[in-house]
Structures are given as structure tokens and as C-alpha cells.
Chain A
Amino acid sequence: DAKTTQPPSMDCAEGRAANLPCNHSTISGNEYVYWYRQIHSQGPQYIIHGLKNNETNEMASLIITEDRKSSTLILPHATLRDTAVYYCIVRVGPLSTGTASKLTFGTGTRLQVTL
């Protein structure tokens, strides 16, 4: 799986958009970009994933550059509850049922949302 690079920490004011960048310059054509977050010592929480198109769900938006070498997770209106470590993970899709690969977590970005 491709390696990812994220800034170690970021701050965001409550109510503003939080834009978390991720570089994955060695990504392959069959690798997806996943985002998870971990609030304190809770289990990692799935946020969103994408292959090459931009994606949006109720939690966030994922913008993937055309060359797929980087992406940005956008939390449109950050709240204090969004304070967490955010992990960007690149992972090959499953070749067949039950063969999906592990998630390789890096050190992530620690997002601090402040009043």
C-alpha cells in the first residue's frame, strides 16, 4: 500500500471549515484513499473514502486531485467534537470477497478545534 504524508497537527476555529491535506504521490491506480479519525482512545471511526472522484457524505467531503497524488478531507463546519487524530490511508481494493487488505495507519494529523 502507498505511503501517505500528513501534517502532524492543525488548528481550526469552531464553525469554520477544516481542510486536512494528505500526500500520496506513489498511489497506484487500484488504490483507494480512506479517511478515519480517532477521538482520544476510542476506536477509529470511518469517515469517507474515494478512488478518483470527489466524494461527499454527511460527515465530510473528500477532494482528490486529478493526478491522485494528493487529497484533502474537508469538514465543512468543524465543532469541538471534531477534535481528533485524522488518518489518511491508501489501500488496495479487494480482489475478491474476503481478500481485502489491512489498514496501515501512519501518525495522522491531530486536529484541534477551538472556540
Chain B
Amino acid sequence: DSGVTQTPKHLITATGQRVTLRCSPRSGDLSVYWYQQSLDQGLQFLIHYYNGEERAKGNILERFSAQQFPDLHSELNLSSLELGDSALYFCASSVRSHRTSGSGTDTQYFGPGTRLTVL
């Protein structure tokens, strides 16, 4: 158990709909990363938030957005869903304090994921 939680575990919806995925980082972690894993693309980085601020964007579609709240949980919003958005969505968290870890790195710990199926 990594300490990162994600809800829901499974989500089935129709094309054109909008869904929200939720991620709670490990206690004290300030960074949240979102990744998408589809069959043909592998694990792809979407976006990174640190302490409520967006820090980096990957290949995230304009139909997708995210935010990190004051309590540090994060939500990934997917709208105008298409069949190709069906995938596993993982979040990861890192950085327990305002200093980097003693090893000088920033290890990411992943949640169990949300499986999104768009019909």
C-alpha cells in the first residue's frame, strides 16, 4: 500500500460525458502527478501540481483539466469524452516536506488507479 488513494476504482460512462477522478496523496506529500495508461500509448505523464500550483504539463488534452485543493487532494476532470479516452488513470505523490528528500531526489509513489471505460 503506497498511501495514495484514488476514487473511483472503476468508471463506465458514455461518449460526450464529463467525469471527475479524485486522488488523495500520501499524508504530507505536496506534489501530485497524473498519468494515463492506454493499451497503445503506455504510461504517459499528464500534469504535475505542487502545493496547489500547476508545475508541468505533458500531453494533456484541452478537454482535460486538473486542480489541487488546499487540503492537497487533486482532481482530474475529463470532458467531452471519446472512446479513445478509455484508459487507466494513475496519480502519484511525492515530497513530504518543504525540503527535498535527503537523497536529493523526489520519489513518486503511485495510487491504485481509476479504470475509465467510455462506451
Contacts and interface: CB of A to CB of B under 8 A. Distances in A.
A114 interface: no
Given A45-B2, A93-B104, A102 B33 contact: yes
A99 B35 CA distance: 17
A87 B116 CA distance: 23
Given A98-B51, A98-B55, A99-B55, A42 B95 contact: no
Nearest to B88: A41
Nearest to A99: B55
Interface string A31-75: 010101000011111100101000000000000000000000000
A93 B106 contact: yes
Interface stretch (A6-14, A17-25, A76-84, A103-111): A103-111
A43 B48 contact: no
A104 B45 contact: yes
Contacts of B31: 98, 100
A26 interface: no
B101 to A, nearest CB: 9
A42 B112 contact: yes
A98 B30 contact: yes
B92 to A, nearest CB: 8
Contact of B56 (A43, A45, A87, A101): A101
Given A44-B43, A93-B106, A97-B99, A102 B58 contact: yes
The 8 closest A-B pairs by CB, nearest first: A100-B106, A43-B110, A98-B50, A102-B45, A105-B43, A94-B106, A44-B110, A43-B112
23 contacts: A43-B4, A43-B90, A43-B110, A43-B111, A43-B112, A44-B90, A44-B110, A45-B2, A46-B107, A46-B110, A87-B43, A91-B105, A96-B100, A97-B50, A98-B30, A98-B51, A100-B100, A100-B106, A100-B108, A102-B48, A102-B56, A102-B58, A105-B43
Given A41-B113, A102-B58, 11 more contacts: A32-B105, A43-B90, A43-B112, A49-B105, A93-B105, A94-B100, A96-B100, A97-B50, A97-B99, A99-B50, A103-B108
